[in-house]
Each structure stands twice: as C-alpha cells, then as structure tokens.
Structure 1
C-alpha cells in the first residue's frame, strides 16, 4: 500500500514564481501542490483541508511572512496549525532572522535559488518534521544537541619580537651613522 501524497502549499511574491515553483515541486509524484495568490485563499483552504508544508515569500505584498505564519500558528480553527514552513527572501537581516524564529518559520531560503534546491529542502523537511506542537513554545529546528562554539578571544597585536619571517625582507643596507671628527 502506498503512502498518501503530501500536500505542499505555495504562496510566493508573484504568480509567475508561484507557478514555476509549483511546477518543479509537482515533479515529485509523492507531492501534491496547492498554489495560492492571496493569504485569504490560503487560510480558507487551511480551514478545510490539511497541508503538510507551507512555502511562503517574505517579498510578497501585504502582510510580512512572519506575521502570516504567526497568525497561522495562533489560529485554532485551522486543520494544519503546526505546519512546517520554508520562507523565501532576497536578503536576511538580523531583525528578520529573529522574527522568523519567533514566528516558527523552520527554514529561510535566499533567492535567487534553483527551484530544484527548494524541492530538495521541502523533501528534507517532510522527512524530519522539526515543528514542535506546543503552542507558545519554540517552533524552529531543535538545537539542543549542537556543539558549543568557542568564545571568541581577542587577537593580540604582533610585536617586533614575534617569530615572524617577513615575506619580502628589507635587503637595503641600514644607514651608517656619521662620525664627525
């Protein structure tokens, strides 16, 4: 017996990008693609049917992606409230990174990217399902078992007494002191 197809919802910055991404993702026979041109139609669909993955775009008009995802997480009337989310963006800034993590966006992919790369990220996310199902908690990837990073130490400035061999040594003769008699 075969596993049922996973549903991937895509809402991108424009209809052309949505159609292109949808076409590439639909190339995987284990995935069904649902394309949306507005947040309103996405929410209406999510009230009726479950989705297994959401791909949204930070660069689309209207409400920012992190606000849309946050409202999905807090909306109890949706069938797929804890859906994994991959967001697309042109650039990522520290405030955007913080907003994405706090909203529960699992991964941010920088555009331009290959649509096949996005397909690989969707497939990987569907295999791991990293979303935590407790409301109000952290919903991003599990980072508890990460290696601790060393604390950065200031690099002392080099002194002339260091054991450093110059790449191009100064081969000029040092100036001779004048001895006046």
Structure 2
C-alpha cells in the first residue's frame, strides 16, 4: 500500500514522445506528492533503465513514432531481466475505444487513462495499481503479467485466461510471496536527517516599574433630591 510518506520514494517513469504532455503529467504527479519521476521519449532507454532500477509504475503512451504502446508493453511483459517483473503499466491514450481497451488487456496493460487527462483520474489509476495490484500469471511463451480476468481467482480454469499458450497461474500464497520478494529488492528510502537547531537561551523579561500616578482631587458629589 502506498502510504502518504512513501509517495516521494515511488519510482515513476513516463514513456511519451510528447515533451509537453510529459511535463503536464510530471506537474500533476508532483501535486499528489510523487517526486521520483523520470520521462523518456525513447522506449528503448526506458526498458534499459528498468533492468537496473526498481520502477514502481510506468505510464505508457499509445501512439509513438515507429512503435506503439502495445508493442512496448509486450517487450516489458516478456523481459525477464527487469528488476520489477510485476511492474504496473498504465496506458495513456486519446483513443479509448472498445477495440483498444481489449488490445490493452491482451498485451498485459493494467489500466487505461484517457486523454485529455484529469488529475482526479490520474490519481485514481495510480493509487489503484499501487494499492490493489492485479493477479499476475506466467505463460510458456515468456509472458509474465496481469491476468486477463480482473477478478482475483487464481484457481480459475477456463477458456482464454490469456489469448495464447498454456499458462501457470500463481496461487494466492505464491502471488503474495513473489510480490514480497520483489518489494524486498527495492532500495530502502532513507529520509534525510532533520537538522538540529541549537537552543538559544531567552533572557528573562525585565520588570519595568512605572511611577505611581499623581494623586487627583476628589470629584464633586451631587446629591439629587
């Protein structure tokens, strides 16, 4: 679970060729307390970083020059060298039609964020993948990613859990074990020490004696009949 104190230490990457949009996303995430944000125009550079750095969440654009978010997601889900094999992927697109949603599911994308973005929905998608992660499965083709079925039933045996290939479903115990193992490999964030401010003695207040006021003559008293 992503507690408020953990947000500054969550590693988030943005893969998008549009620098203006990446800057907008960075500003939105910053407002929600996330500080460790890196953006990439080239998916190859992002994947190389994932091999050496534990990334907590990836925001992935759908339309990019020479490739698309589906192909990049496939590369991530079939790459056994990533530090975080259970990396949540949130696809960002302005074309969230039924066909693209279905393709996103088939390619192992956890959530879809629709453009134009609204900060409220950015936060909902992000906290959703951090606090309520999907059940992940492994197939013989090398795919390791979220189950097609959103309902958490790792013992389900039915048609098309994945589109192709036999699969190995993590049991509930195994699923928790793998996530704990991956989380243990994540670098521990050590907060910066709080500077000690020396205490400066405060002098005691000095009493100021004021001279007594001069005596005033008694006022006249009038008796009314």
Give yes or no for the alignment of 1:122 onto 2:119.
no
Aligned equivalent of 1:86, options 90, 97, 100: 90
Q: Which of the two has higher C-alpha Rg?
A: 2
Deviations 1:148-180 (A, max 9, x none): xxxxxxxxxxxxxxxxxxxxxxxxxxxxxxxxx
Aligned equivalent of 2:146, options 125, 134, 139: 139
Aligned equivalent of 1:111, options 112, 115, 126: 115
Deviates more, 1:127-136 or 1:94-103: 127-136
Alignment size in residue pairs: 144
Structure 1 runs not aligned, ≥5 long: 146-181
2:18–2:41 CA contact under 8 A, matched in 1: yes
Q: CA RMSD in A?
A: 2.3
* Cα displacement (A) at 1:113: 1.9
User: Where in structure 2 are the equivalents of 1:30-179 lying within 5 Å?
Assistant: 30-135=34-139, 136=143, 139-140=146-147, 142-143=150-151
Which ranges of 4 or more aligned residues in structure 1 deviate by more than 4 Å?
A: none
Give the SS at the match of 1:56: strand
Give the SS at the match of 2:63: coil
Q: Give, in whole Å, the separation in 2 of the partners of 1:32 and 1:131.
A: 26
The structure, 1 or 2, with the larger RCO (C-alpha pairs under 8 Å, 6+ apart) is: 1
Structure 2 runs not aligned, ≥5 long: 154-225
2:10 aligns with 6
Q: Give, in whole Å, the separation in 1 of the partners of 2:39 and 2:82.
A: 18
